[in-house]
Amino acid sequence: MISIQVNGEQRDVEIDGDTPLLWVLRDVLAMTGTKFGCGIAQCGACTVHIDGVPTRSCRLPVSQVGDRAVTTIEGVGATSAGRRIQKAWLDLEVIQCGYCQSGQIMAASALLATNPSPDDADIDAAMSGNICRCGTYVRIREGIKQAARHG
Amino acid sequence: MAESVLSRRHFLGSGVAVGAALVLGVDLKTADIAAATPTVRAAFAPDAFIRIASDGKARLIMPQTEMGQGIYTALSMLIAEELDLPLDGVTLEAAPANDKLYGNPIFQVQATGGSTSMRGYWLPLRKVGASARAMLVAAAARRWRVAPESCRTEAGAVIHDASGRTLGYGMLAASAMLEKPPAEPKLKEPADFRLIGRSHHRLDTPDKANGVVQYGIDAMPPGVRFASLACSPVLGGRVARVDELQAKSLPGVKQIVVLEDMVAVVGDTSWAAMRALAALDIIWNDGPLAAVSTETIRADLHAAANTEGHVAVDTGARAKLSGDGVISAAYELPLLAHAPMEPMNCTVHLTPGHCEVWVGTQAITMAQRAAAEEAGLTPEQVTVHNHLIGGGFGRRLEVDGVRKAVRIARHVDGPVKVIWSREEDIGKAPYRSVYGAWLEAKLDNGKPVAWSHKVVGPAVIGRWLPPAYDGKIDIDAVDGAAETPYDFPASYVEWVRHEPRGVNTAFWRGVGPNMNVFATESFIDRVAHEAGADPLAFRRSIIGKLPRARAVLDLAATKAGWGDPLPTRSGRGISLQYAFGSFLCTIAEVSVADDGAVTVTRLTTAVDCGTPVNPDGIVSQIQGGMIFGLSAALHGEITLVGGRTQQSNFHDYRVVRMDETPRIDVHVVTNAEAPGGIGEPGTVSVQGAVANAIYAATGVQLTRMPIDTALLAKDRRA
Ligand code: FES
Ligand code: FES
């Protein structure tokens, strides 16, 4: 039995400890907001926060989460940065198909939480690990800047 | 039967139990869609397009699939506009799988692709809205005993100003059903549009910002198990032998399914299945296609160019293409994977006499038929729950994934969710085909007096939609070549059908025009170069019959600062196109490092897609479409060795990321022309614009994508 804290709730799961957090969230806890895109830490679709740090959940064995706090797209709206990013995303209509956007929003809100006014180079550094096949990058950049202004 | 799983609660509404309703449909099968007239349908008729019930809302039966392009919003706007409803007065219900009733007016099958949705539904849906409005007005006028002309509509109500009376649509719906639909519903004049032409927030995005939306991959029917699959790495290969011993003993493994041409593992989680699949020792019988490689595919393409094709245009160019001043060049595009962010997936539950499918598909009826065939059932015994799509790009017009999932499900007790690993998705998918183009032009006094363009490529329409293919010309294969923006005194356009050996091909965002516009626009620059002319001035001198093409060219040139000085080894390049019913010009700005590395610094686009229904949505589609095209130009190529794809995931099948994204400026022309397509034009415009910018920066014209930086290194030029 493994116990993890997700969005403030303690969850017990009966699972092989090698299972990446991504699949525990999706297949065991049915929290499908966190997405599978590549499985090898190349696309960022599976990004969650572990104690606030953006982390690729597809490569994190659930046994290594320990007592650190997991925040997912379903819970990030409860944080100030997450709320501002989500609002900017809708104001600017960043989202197209949306499949990558859970990961984008998690990466962007982690950036904003640690850097209240990121410049273009900061955004490149923080966001280039997140692929969007629909090509929403221009608006993601704008969205982060708008969310920062409305801090 | 089929239904759709939509994310927004308001899409689902309150079911059909909202009392008597005004129900209207329109026959999309008529030869002349512009002349089709909406008619009343029985309450709850399956072939309706709208139902207005006692809550006053218009329930739109949405025939098209939302895959990020914003079509839910744009089509809803058409109904809301003609009905004088606010946009939130329209609720959506996905159309059931039924080609006869909900076939896309352009394809005649229920499919979303080819940038056809707005082109197909612009008139039919507006007419449905206009007819409903006229009938609601007639019902109110009858009740008030006034002339219908003395009434007006606003915000979901009929108003009689002279007497100060108002009735909401909900109060009128039942009696409106008794009115005769107008023989010729009067559409609004563009000057009267309240919604069309103004940017509106999208209906589908709020639930995509908080993880609530459910894609096919998120389907969780009770008791679902998870499967991962490995198909033969060589097309047509067969499983020879599988050593299951090690995999079987891994935790979470439920079942190993070995079929003729694929192996699947079913587990408690997708990861358990993937891990066990990787641990399986599978020996394949590759079959004859193991001899296929990128080299054989390219050699075959070039050989095909030496054969006669079908003639699409012949205005006497051939005789003129001799003597001095004849210029020729050849261009080529590689195989590409689609790699949508949502990996291919399909969930299936087979029970005796019934098959339930959860998937995100661009072609619901094809998915239904494919499942039925594999399950040995009739289409009516298959329920397809269609989902919002996490990226289509043409990949989800194919139903190979549904077939495979059903074949696996036949061996599994209970529902099974089959997810492709990214390696399976990139390594085995049907691909965008290779294409080649051979062009010739004759210059006389600095003007091209004859132009010939031979296209070599597959008949994707011929395979995917046989009725639309006459066996001679595949309309997609010559789109953007047969009709260019230019006035050539004599033209010859020919197409050689060539299906690459050893790969299945599929539509890919931008389809035929990707090749044709890249080739045409590259060659125009080449010919301009030979003529000693500026690429902008040269284009302007040969545009006459299409003033809209000239307008986007001039607008893009002005906005991009054409002619403004640039540093050395930097350049601007133009790509102008008329395809999908839209005019578009992109000007790329690049800088090329001494080692040949290319940085695209800016893309400026002017687009005239006719009436811009939701302008911000158009900008968004162009921005995203151009990034998709830029990925192809900078990085995109699938290569084969021994019949096997060499790329497997995003580290070796690279796509553009944030740090490679240039500044993008999109300028939308406003006019009252019928809307053109917008999902694909942006993608099409990038390769030519970037290649021409590189040509301007370095003097080297690249004739094949993706960019080969080795050809651009400084010392190489000397
Ligand atoms: S799924 Fe984890 S980074 Fe792609
Ligand atoms: S919005 Fe579709 S992949 Fe990013």
Q: Which ligand is nearest to the CA of A56?
A: 1
Kindly indicate the confidence band of residue B28, based on its pLDDT and cuts at 50, 70 and 90.
low
- Specify the residue with its C-alpha closest to ligand 1, atom 3: A41
Q: Which residues contact B314 (CB under 8 A, 6 or more apart)?
A: B491, B492, B493
User: Do A135 and B342 count as a contact with CB atoms less than 8 A apart?
Assistant: no
What is the rounded CA–CA span in Å between residue B85 and residue B87? 6
A65-99 burial: b if 16+ Cβ within 10 Å, else e: beeeebbbbbbbbebebbebbbbbbbebbbbbbbb
Distance, CA B362 to ligand 2 centroid (Å)? 16
Question: CB A14: neighbour CB atoms within 10 A?
Answer: 8
Q: Look up residue B208 and give its two tokens.
A: 């995509």
Among A19, A58, A101, A102, say which to mutate for ligand 1: greatest number of ligand atoms within 8 Å of CB. Answer: A58
| Measured CA distances, B591 to A125, B534, B596, B687 (Å) | 22, 19, 9, 15
- Which of B67, B214, B657 lies nearest to residue A97, judging by beta carbons? B67
Per-residue pLDDT for B626 more than 80?
yes
Residue B9 pLDDT: 29
CB contact (8 A) between residue A101 and residue B209: yes
Of A36, A86, A131, the CB nearest to B650: A131
| Best of A42, A97, A106, A137 for a ligand 2 pocket test (most atoms within 8 Å of beta carbon) | A97
Measured distance CA(B617)–CA(B201) in Å, rounded: 9
Q: Which residue has the higher pLDDT, B47 or B279?
A: B279
Q: How far is the CA of B403 from the centre of ligand 1 (A)?
A: 26
| pLDDT one-digit tens code per residue, B490-506 | 999 999 999 999 899 99
| Among the listed residues B520, B531, B524, B470, the one whose alpha carbon sits nearest the alpha carbon of residue B497 | B470
B191-231: per-residue pLDDT in tens? 999 999 999 999 999 999 999 999 999 999 999 999 999 99
B70: Cβ below 6 Å to ligand 2? no
Mapping DSSP to helix (H, G, I), strand (E, B) and coil, where does residue B2 land? strand
Confidence of residue B11 (pLDDT cuts 50, 70, 90): very low
Extract the tokens encoding B658: 């944030």
Q: Which ligand is nearest to the CA of A136?
A: 2
Q: Is the CB of B636 under 6 A from ligand 2?
A: no
Long-range contacts of B45-50 (CB under 8 A, 24+ apart): B46/B96, B46/B98, B46/B101, B47/B98, B47/B100, B47/B101, B47/B102, B48/B23, B48/B24, B49/B24, B49/B25, B49/B124, B49/B125, B49/B128, B50/B22, B50/B23, B50/B24, B50/B79, B50/B128, B50/B129, B50/B132
Q: Are A42 and B651 in contact (CB < 8 Å)?
A: yes
When pLDDT is cut at 50, 70 and 90, the band that residue B177 belongs to is confident
* Closest alpha carbon to B9 in B210, B220, B212: B212
- Most A-contacting residue of B87, B201, B210 (CB-CB within 10 A), to test interface: B210
CA of A135 to the centre of ligand 2 (A): 7
The verdict on a CB contact (< 8 Å) between B274 and A39 is yes
Among B201, B340, B628, beta carbon nearest to A135: B628
CA distance B594 to B491: 39
Nearest CA in chain A to B387: A97
C-alpha B38/C-alpha B254 separation (Å) is: 54
**pTM for the full model?**
0.94
* Interstrand relation of B157-160 and B165-168 (parallel, antiparallel or unpaired): antiparallel
For the CA of A55, the nearest ligand: 1
Picking from A39, A95, A132, the nearest residue to B422 by CB comes out as: A39
| Separation of alpha carbons B261 and B606, rounded Å | 48
Length of chain A: 151
Choose the closest CB to A45 out of B205, B210, B341. B341
pLDDT for residue A49:
98
Of B149, B133, B145, B246, nearest to B187 by C-alpha is B133
The percentage of residues in chain B with a pLDDT greater than 90, rounded to a whole number, is: 80
Give the residue with greater pLDDT, B4 vs B655.
B655
Q: Within 10 A of A51 (CB to CB), how many other CB atoms are there?
A: 12
Q: Which domains, and CATH codes, for chain A? A: 2-71 (3.10.20.30), 77-149 (1.10.150.120)
Mutate to test the pocket of ligand 1, among A34, A35, A38 (most ligand atoms within 8 A of CB): A38
Q: What share of chain A is helix, strand, coil (3-state, %, to 5)?
A: 40, 15, 40
Q: In whole angstroms, what is the distance from residue B466 CA to residue B570 CA?
A: 46
The helix or strand, by DSSP H or E, that contains position A120, with its residue range, turns out to be helix A120-127
- Cβ atoms of B543 and B487 within 8 Å: the answer is yes
Domain annotation for chain B: domains and CATH numbers: 17-196 (3.30.365.10), 216-287+344-419 (3.30.365.10), 295-335+431-717 (3.30.365.10)
Q: List the structure tokens of A123.
A: 């955004």
pLDDT tens track for B181-201:
888 889 999 999 999 999 999
Torsion of CA B250, B253, B255, B260, to 10 degrees: -70
Q: Are B42 and B20 in contact (CB under 8 A)?
A: no
- Please tell me the distance in Å from B717's CA to the nearest CA on chain A: 33
Give distance in angstroms: CA of B389 to centre of ligand 2: 10
Q: In this structure, which long-range contacts are made by residues B524-532, counting pairs with CB atoms below 8 Å and at least 24 apart in sequence?
A: B524/B486, B525/B573, B525/B574, B525/B692, B525/B695, B525/B701, B526/B327, B526/B329, B526/B695, B526/B701, B527/B327, B527/B441, B527/B443, B527/B448, B529/B695, B529/B701, B530/B327, B530/B443, B531/B443, B531/B446, B531/B447, B532/B446
A99 Cβ closer than 6 Å to some ligand 1 atom:
no
Instruction: Of B59, B270, B698, B553, give the one whose Cα is nearest residue A19.
Output: B270
| Residue B107 banded pLDDT, cuts 50, 70, 90 | confident
Distance from the alpha carbon of residue A23 to the mean position of ligand 2, in angstroms: 21
The C-alpha torsion from B205 through B206 and B209 to B213, rounded to 10°, is -80
**Alpha carbon of B623: minimum distance to chain A alpha carbons (Å):** 7
Decide if A134 and B391 are in contact by the 8 Å CB cutoff: yes
- On whether ipTM exceeds 0.90, the answer is yes
